[in-house]
Amino acid sequence: MRWEGISEFVYVAEYESFTRGAKELGISTAQVSRQISALEKRLNIKLLYRTTRKVSLTEEGRVFYQHCRSVLDGLDAAEQAVSNLQSKPQGRIKLTAPVTYGEQQLLPLINDFMMQYHDIEVTAFLSNQKIDLIEGGYDLAIRIGKLHDSTMMAKKLSLRTNFVCAAPSYLKKHGIPHQLSDLSQHNCLLGTRDYWHFIDTAKAKENRNTHGKTDNQQVSVERNLRVSGTVQYNSGYSLVDAALKGLGIVQLPDYYVQKYLASGELVSLLDDYREPEESIWAIYPHNRHLSPKIRLLVDYLAEHLV
């Protein structure tokens, strides 16, 4: 009796819908509703707010959900551990990742991974849009930068660095920017956003003086600096090409520009203002147990991504 309604409650809480929760469980919406109503009656607590448009957790429901989710995760893990004793990683993994990072860094490694594990199949959809993993039925997503979705589990895979750079021909003609304010005098090659990320060390020094902090204290002030120019592309490759041809200054991740910086075809600029490295994450829905095949792939990527 104590288990009745638990799974139904957890799925409805996570999908914020009786209909979607019932679909995931493979039972009728009416059955889900009955089980949760019986659970609330047994506990003598209202767990969910119900309206015609939305289902949400009460304060008591949030507390109860956290404990129930842990119990179900533990049960899933126990069942998986037993079944894995006689099995090997197999089946399909559906994942999504940013386009260029996926093409250059991720998919070649996944190809190497599949050469070792022949019973695993992979479907990858590359997109720079934030895709709903649960809605799309994805097992895994690769994301770059700060994570904002607390409903997902995450594992850090690697780091990336953004560089501001330009061709020597451009710098010879237009001069070298030495501080962030100098960028207003330059042609900045834009991607999908009209601002660049920096750590403003000059402003950090000002803050130290304003707040009476000693000079040996380190203060980092993140800054989004609005820039402008004659080019705006949603293609990193095209922006690199424009920079190589001397059209302007660009800010791009290391995997676009590393080889050109090494060869001297591009010159790194404003290094003192470079933002900290961004994390690259593997994320997966909290309500899905990380199966052996997915865990194996995530561990492989964490080991081999640089």
Give residue-wise pLDDT tens across range 17-50.
Answer: 899 888 888 899 999 999 999 999 999 999 999 8
Q: How many domains does the chain have?
A: 3
The verdict on 265 and 172 lying in the same domain is yes
The verdict on 150 and 288 lying in the same domain is yes
Q: At what angle do helices 59-84 and 6-15 cross, to 10 degrees?
A: 110
Domain boundary among 84, 101, 117: 84
- Asked if residue 1 is part of any domain, the answer here is no
The verdict on 254 and 284 lying in the same domain is no
The verdict on 167 and 268 lying in the same domain is yes
- Residue with more model confidence, 128 or 291: 128
**Residue in this structure with the two tokens 């920079």, named with its chain if needed:** 243
User: Is 215's pLDDT higher than 60?
Assistant: no
The verdict on 29 and 67 lying in the same domain is yes
The verdict on 166 and 268 lying in the same domain is yes
The verdict on 170 and 196 lying in the same domain is yes
Report the distance separating Cα 110 and Cα 3, nearest Å: 40
The verdict on 188 and 104 lying in the same domain is no
SS3 letters for the chain?
CCCCCHHHHHHHHHHCCHHHHHHHHCCCHHHHHHHHHHHHHHHCCCCEEECCCCEEECHHHHHHHHHHHHHHHHHHHHHHHHHHCCCCCCEEEEEEECHHHHHHHHHHHHHHHHHHCCCEEEEEEECCCCCCHHHHCCCEEEEECCCCCCCEEEEEEEEECEEEEECHHHHHHHCCCCCHHHHHHCCEEECCCCEEEEECHHHHHHHHHHCCCCCCCCCCCEEEEECCCCCECCCHHHHHHHHHCCCCEEEEEHHHHHHHHHHCCCEEECHHHCCCCEEEEEEEECCCCCCHHHHHHHHHHHHHCC
Identity of the residue numbered 135? E
Q: What is the average pLDDT across 202-207? A: 49
Give the closest residue to 240 by CA, choosing from 183, 191, 277: 191
Query: What's the CATH number where 246 sits?
Result: 3.40.190.10
pTM score, whole prediction: 0.58
Residue 212 phi/psi, 5° resolution? 70, 25
- Asked if residue 64 is part of any domain, the answer here is yes
Contact assessment for residue 195 and residue 222, using Cβ atoms and an 8 Å cutoff? no
Q: What is the average pLDDT across 54-79? A: 86
Query: What's the CATH number where 56 sits?
Result: 1.10.10.10
Q: What is the average pLDDT across 172-186? A: 94
Report the distance separating Cα 155 and Cα 184, nearest Å: 38
The verdict on 61 and 130 lying in the same domain is no
Contact assessment for residue 134 and residue 94, using Cβ atoms and an 8 Å cutoff? no
Report the distance separating Cα 13 and Cα 210, nearest Å: 48
- Asked if residue 97 is part of any domain, the answer here is yes
Report the distance separating Cα 300 and Cα 283, nearest Å: 15
Q: What is the average pLDDT across 129-151? A: 82
The verdict on 189 and 257 lying in the same domain is yes
pLDDT averaged over every residue in the chain? 85
Domain boundary among 84, 107, 138: 84
The verdict on 166 and 269 lying in the same domain is yes
- Residue with more model confidence, 193 or 267: 267
The verdict on 271 and 283 lying in the same domain is no
Name 79's Cβ contacts closer than 8 Å, sequence gap at least 6. none
Report the distance separating Cα 118 and Cα 63, nearest Å: 43
Q: What digits encode the pLDDT tens for the residues 258-299?
A: 999 999 999 999 999 998 888 899 988 765 556 778 888 999
- Structural domain boundaries, residue 100: 91-160+279-304
- Asked if residue 222 is part of any domain, the answer here is yes
Confidence of residue 218 (pLDDT cuts 50, 70, 90): low
- Asked if residue 176 is part of any domain, the answer here is yes
Confidence of residue 151 (pLDDT cuts 50, 70, 90): low
pLDDT the model gives residue 47: 92
Domain boundary among 24, 59, 84: 84
